[in-house]
Amino acid sequence: MTAEAMTVPSRQDVRSLLGKFAETAAGSRQLSHPPVIRQFWEDAGAAGLLAPAEAAGPEWRRFSLVVAEELGRHWLLDLPLWLQSDVLPTVLRLHGTPRQQALLPEFARGSAVVSAALSETANASSLTGLSSTARPVGDGYVINADKRNISNAVIADHIAVSAGIGEDGPTTGLFLVPRNTPGIEVTQTSMGLGLELLGTGTVTFTDVHVPAEALLGGVADAGGQLQSAMALEWFFLALMSNAAAWSVVAETYTRVNAPRGAGPLLGHSSVRQRVAELVSRLHTVTALMRTLGAGYVETGTAPADLAAVSKNEAAQVLLAALDLESGLRGAADLTASPATSRTDVDGRRRAAAAQALAGGATHALHGVTLAGLAARVGQEPII
């Protein structure tokens, strides 16, 4: 059965499956092992979470956005399914040869995983000034490349690698190369705790001979071919971060509204103001997400400038949410345990945070209350 003939899974179906993913990730002691990561992708493919790679219609594009949003809500921030469902498939549809496009059904099923090897040590995802080279030979190219921090590297079956072609003023080509091609070596690396599912690695090409047909579309134009894809990547990251921030705010609201001997933290005007300001910022970013989402569903593209802004703003508001949650958690824990020693450095820091968050003026917030704002926190879907 093709993706076009499939019924688009519901949000509840997506939420249920990703909830199981999150439970597995939380309980796994071998989360960074390639077979464990690969199983996540195969399960995602079997459940239809990667189906837009083959379908590409508006309802499936909307479904991809739902998946990204739910990934953020479940804190699966290191499972970038959209790379294989939307971003790289978009590049293949627009620019790939028929043989390269024939890989799309495999990507949709999760039976083959693709990785984009763009970043270098001194060149983060740029497509100019590359140290990687693709030297033309009679029947193709010889690629030498050293790519760093490449997502999905340890489980990839195919690698899309950027490299400069020619000696004088090189142009940049994007090559789609099978992982098992002689001369390719992948060394697993770590992006840190909580990012194990990225499957990050260093990808080294040493005199790798590829046929001419490996060049995407037969044209050395990686910048033009990847421009729209990079904007999509920024947008999907922003959507996921935005959803994660809402989940933090929902948890924070529950914490500050919890009953305590001295009354809920939300009873302090400064706490109400801090949370209200954060929720207001989130609503602004969410409005941008909805606008970009509507455009993507309709056209399959996202404006690069707005996508870049959304990525930055969503990241900033997520960090702000985490900072506020951390401070309020410290304040709540401190007041619940009054025996904290004044000589304990951590305890003193938390005491200072509690004073800063809960102290201050007792005046009303000029009619601003959290009851209306927070009643819907994290409940309404972004997309």
- Average pLDDT by stretches of 10, the chain with 383 residues: 67 93 86 91 94 90 96 91 94 95 95 93 69 92 94 95 80 95 95 83 97 95 90 94 90 77 70 82 92 96 93 91 79 52 52 50 37 55 87
Q: Residue 298, exposed/middle/buried by CB under 10 A (0-12, 13-18, 19+)?
A: exposed
What's the confidence (pLDDT) of residue 167?
65
What's the confidence (pLDDT) of residue 363?
33
What's the confidence (pLDDT) of residue 360?
41
Interval 314-345: pLDDT, tens: 999 998 888 888 777 766 565 554 444 445 55
Residue whose C-alpha is closest to residue 195's, from 19, 66, 367, 76:
76
In order of 157, 267, 351, the CA distances from 329 in angstroms are 43, 15, 11
Q: Residue 261, exposed/middle/buried by CB under 10 A (0-12, 13-18, 19+)?
A: exposed
What's the confidence (pLDDT) of residue 93?
93
**CB-based contact 367:273 (threshold 8 Å):** no
**CB-based contact 19:74 (threshold 8 Å):** yes
What's the confidence (pLDDT) of residue 162?
94
What's the confidence (pLDDT) of residue 130?
83
| Angstrom distance (rounded) from CA 89 to CA 157 | 15
What's the confidence (pLDDT) of residue 324?
84
What's the confidence (pLDDT) of residue 25?
86
What does the block give as tokens for 275? 């949370």
What's the confidence (pLDDT) of residue 16?
93
User: How many Cβ atoms sit within 10 Å of the Cβ of residue 18?
Assistant: 24
**CB-based contact 222:162 (threshold 8 Å):** yes
What's the confidence (pLDDT) of residue 327?
76
**Phi, psi values for residue 282, rounded to 5°:** -65, -40
| Angstrom distance (rounded) from CA 290 to CA 352 | 38
What's the confidence (pLDDT) of residue 101?
96
**CB-based contact 179:159 (threshold 8 Å):** yes
**CB-based contact 107:89 (threshold 8 Å):** yes
What's the confidence (pLDDT) of residue 92?
95
- Rounded to two decimals, the pTM is 0.85
What's the confidence (pLDDT) of residue 331?
62
